[in-house]
Amino acid sequence: MRTKFRQEDGAAAVEFALIVGVLAMLLFGMLQFGVAFFQLQNLRAATREGARVGAVKGTVTDVRNRVQSASNIPNFGTSLVVSTTPATTLTPTSRPCAPTSGPIPDSVRATISLNNAQLPPGLVDVFTVDIPLMPTISLRSAQVYGEFRCES
């Protein structure tokens, strides 16, 4: 009877069953965080592209179009803001670095607010990392921006 209890047949299967859940959580958590980080870097590059267009005397509409085309996201709504430093009033046809009156601003900035209600629904889901048995990690408190100095 003692030899029957000392056999270790199936011990590896039991150990694997105990550990596979933790491994799956780790693996899927890393994948989900990786997708969120990739999209964050994609948006950073897109805002830099948009700010560069504004720095070389493009209009606010040109900046918005460039950010949208560089990120492959069709519409940011009010979550994408184009501004200058120091702050000036801009319209869609304004040229941030070539104002019709007043001094030339120092820089132009394209900013995407990730906690804006008008952010496309696909992005809202990407920036919320939900790993089972762990608290939800929200990356939506961040602001993604690109800034370029105005060329004179």
Q: Where are the beta strands (DSSP E) in 19-72?
A: none
Contact 134, 145 (CB under 8 A): no
Domain boundaries, the chain: 2-149
What does DSSP assign to residue 103? Answer: P
Question: Given 3-state DSSP classes, what are the helix, strand and coil percentages for the chain, each rounded to the nearest 5?
Answer: 45, 15, 40
Q: What is the pLDDT along the chain (152 residues), one digit of tens a residue?
A: 566 666 777 888 888 999 998 898 889 888 988 988 898 899 999 999 999 999 998 999 999 999 999 998 888 888 899 999 998 889 999 999 888 888 889 999 999 988 888 888 777 778 888 877 778 888 888 889 999 999 86
10: left (phi over 0), alpha (psi -120 to 50) or beta: left
Q: What CA–CA distance (Å, rounded) separates 152 from 149?
A: 9
- At 57 the pLDDT is 83
pTM of the model: 0.81
